[in-house]
Amino acid sequence: MRRSAAQTRLHILDAAYALFWRQGFLRVSMDEIATRAGITKRALYQHFTSKDALMAATLACSSELALKHLKQFHLPVTTGHELIESYFTQLRDWANKPKYSGGGFTRAAIELADLRGHPARAIARKHKSAVEKWLADELAAAGIPAADHRAQEVMLLTEGAMALMLIHGDPGWANSAARAAKRLLQTSPTFGPRRQLSAR
């Protein structure tokens, strides 16, 4: 049965996602993506005019799915500590999978560090901001003071844990991050104004 244009587009995004996350965003060629998607390179360019556009679309799709998963994070948690435990347990379980290759949004931003205006970087930044907001909202709902500041700190621990789990191949770094985050929740907030996210 012939696929519709929308179905073909999704098939391309699935193929690109698998290759980008496994091999890196810059190392993968459009030829490889077309081959994995089972279409011609010409057909691929009919859906995405450039590799940059495909990278951005792949990250946008991945962000949508990841944020949807976060919003379904309805576990029986009633305290900040329980939220942190559940959050980092899921991070550890993810890193424990055989093909764990770190956070794709962070990897994309690093690979494109010299291309500030690249659309994929903007999507990665938007995604991280959305995750931080989700954390702030959840911590506030759990009664944690200065939840926006705490969310910022938990994001730092998350990024550090993801990087070190990738470097060392040890998911136990998520447990260390969880312990550090729980200690943060116990301290009294003495912060100045909340830092503003860069719009660049």
70 and 148 both lie in a single domain: yes
185 contacts 144 by C-beta, under 8 angstroms:
yes
Nearest to 2 by CA among 48, 61, 43: 43
DSSP-derived secondary structure letter, 67: H
Long-range CB contact pairs, 161-164, < 8 A, 24+: 161/88, 161/91, 162/91, 162/95, 162/102, 162/103, 162/106, 163/102, 163/106
- Alpha-carbon distance of 182 to 84, in angstroms, equals 7
CATH number at residue 37: 1.10.10.60
Tell me which residue range forms the domain holding 109.
59-186
pLDDT of res. 184:
92
pTM: 0.84
In a domain, 192, yes or no: no
39 and 69 both lie in a single domain: no
25 contact partners, CB below 8 Å, separation of at least 6 = 55, 107, 108, 111, 112, 120
In a domain, 134, yes or no: yes
pLDDT of res. 54:
96
pLDDT of res. 169:
94
130 and 153 both lie in a single domain: yes
Place of tokens 């091999």: 23
Residues of the chain where predicted confidence (pLDDT) is lower than 50: 190-200
118 and 29 both lie in a single domain: no
- Alpha-carbon distance of 164 to 167, in angstroms, equals 5
162 contacts 95 by C-beta, under 8 angstroms:
yes
pLDDT of res. 190:
45
Quick: pLDDT tens for 14-39: 999 999 988 999 999 999 999 999 99
- Alpha-carbon distance of 29 to 46, in angstroms, equals 16
